[in-house]
Amino acid sequence: MQSLRSLALSAIGLLLVLAAFVFTASLGLILAGLVSLVMIGSAVSARFSAKPAPVRCQARTRRETDAHTSGRVPRIWNDGRGTIIDL
List the pLDDT tens digit at each of the 87 positions of the chain: 689 999 999 999 999 999 999 999 999 999 999 999 999 999 898 888 877 777 888 777 666 665 555 556 778 888 888 888 877
Alpha carbons 84 and 74: distance in angstroms, whole number: 10
Has residue 86 been placed in a domain? no
Alpha carbons 24 and 28: distance in angstroms, whole number: 6
Has residue 13 been placed in a domain? yes
Has residue 81 been placed in a domain? no
- The total domain count for the chain is 1
Write down the pTM of the prediction.
Answer: 0.47
Rounded to the nearest 10 degrees, how much is the dihedral formed by the CA atoms of 10, 12, 17, 20?
A: -170
Q: Which residues contact 21 (CB under 8 A, 6 or more apart)?
A: none
